Chains A and B, each alone.
Chain A
Amino acid sequence: MKAWSIDYVRWRLETAYPGGLKYAVKHPIKFLIDGWNFLIWCEKIDLELADRGEE
């Protein structure tokens, strides 16, 4: 995630929200909750990847 470019982050926000960054700024709590849910999801996908690797 550290390597993500600004353009990429902007696009990710535009994908998640109509209006992208503006929407995130106007709805900070929602943005934080969504960000937290995304991190949990990343962990789940990592577990999935690890399980597949052991097959």
Chain B
Amino acid sequence: MLDFMIRDVRFFSPIIAASGTFGYGDEVQEFVDLSKIGSVITKSITLEPREGNPSPRIHESNSGMINSIGLANMGVDSFCDTKLDSLNKLKTNFIVSVAGSSLDEYAQVIEQIDKTDGKHVGYEVNISCPNVKEGGIEFGVNKDVTFKLTSRLRKLTDKLLIIKLTPNVTNIAEIAQAAESGGADAVSAVNTFQGLAISHKTGKMLLSTKFGGISGPGIKPLALAKVHKIYEQINIPILGMGGIVNCTDVVEFLRVGASMVQIGTLNYRNPSLISTIHDELHSIMIKNKFSKLSDLIGAYH
């Protein structure tokens, strides 16, 4: 009832743990029932190891959090050597998130992981990274760059290619279209919204990088609007995300056009809650006489 196919890959639940919120993915397997999660998305992997931004890099806000972790990760070499074996044994699908500061870096990371015997079903491409060769402007704010990046990566792998869109653009639907034209199998919508936190007492910024990404329940209406806009312009599945904390939120995302959903910030509160949402969604489907997910996907439109 809750399974969904993207191309030839079957997900037995539409609920996915968002990138990085379960670490690399294997850190939670002892205390989270992964059989009730459609997939885990790893932390974003870069070509070189990164320690991330200086502290403070997380600020808890009233209805979520602002973070600027800065892609802290072990780098692709260590990831392939030390993590893939463990991830291959997970009781659910896993997707590798990749990030880079140039087109070449993204390509090298995917090429390197693709050579291994990793059982990952696909890649989620984090395009909210600054493009160093283009003056630090994010890849994902330009439709031509998004197309160029997607079409280049498409040639490198047969696994699922999912482009994670930034909401910090004027027209997100045209960026989604560029990803689809470039050969993406799906898009994730949306990454965090840009925000800032400042102390009213001291006047100091509360994140070392000044700006960070806002996530959590407060952004749900914003994220729903983005998914709604994208759904009307593309024909590939949307992995909706932004502020989901329970199964009714999941249903709302499905109704406006998401085919699957990702849960992120809630995992920082309690990583076990995500598996209960699967059961609740199942009950809601039966109660409302929906026989399959596609009865709900885009039902509003």
Measured in the bound complex, the distance between the Cα atoms of B69 and A40 in whole Å is 21
Binary contact track A26-55/B, C-beta < 8 Å → 1, others 0 = 010010001001101110111011001101
Q: Do the beta carbons of B52 and A18 come within 8 Å of each other?
A: yes
Using a CB–CB distance below 8 Å, which chain B residues touch chain A? Answer: 20, 23-24, 26-28, 30-31, 51-58, 60, 62-63, 65, 69, 72, 216-217, 245-246, 248-249, 266, 269-272
Given contacts A8-B27, A52-B246, contact A45 B269 (CB under 8 A): yes
Measured in the bound complex, the distance between the Cα atoms of B60 and A44 in whole Å is 10
Q: Do the beta carbons of B31 and A3 come within 8 Å of each other?
A: yes
Q: Do the beta carbons of A18 and B246 come within 8 Å of each other?
A: no
A37's nearest neighbour on chain B, judged by CB, is: B60
How many contacts A-B (CB < 8 Å)?
Answer: 73
Given contacts A48-B217, A52-B245, A52-B249, contact A40 B72 (CB under 8 A): no
Given contacts A23-B55, A41-B65, A44-B62, contact A11 B27 (CB under 8 A): yes
Measured in the bound complex, the distance between the Cα atoms of B248 and A15 in whole Å is 29
Q: How many residues on the A side are at the interface (Cβ–Cβ under 8 A)?
A: 31
Beyond A10-B27, A11-B27, A15-B58, 14 extra complex contacts between A and B, CB < 8 Å: A5-B30, A5-B31, A11-B24, A15-B20, A18-B55, A27-B55, A30-B55, A42-B269, A44-B60, A44-B63, A45-B269, A46-B269, A48-B63, A52-B245
Q: Do the beta carbons of B246 and A49 come within 8 Å of each other?
A: yes
Q: Which residues of B contact A38 (CB under 8 A)?
A: 60
Using a CB–CB distance below 8 Å, which chain A residues touch chain B? Answer: 1, 3-5, 7-8, 10-11, 14-19, 23, 27, 30, 34, 37-38, 40-42, 44-46, 48-49, 52-53, 55
Measured in the bound complex, the distance between the Cα atoms of B24 and A18 in whole Å is 17
Q: Do the beta carbons of B53 and A7 come within 8 Å of each other?
A: no
B86's nearest neighbour on chain A, judged by CB, is: A7
Q: Do the beta carbons of A8 and B63 come within 8 Å of each other?
A: no
Shortest beta-carbon distance, A50 to chain B, in Å?
Answer: 10
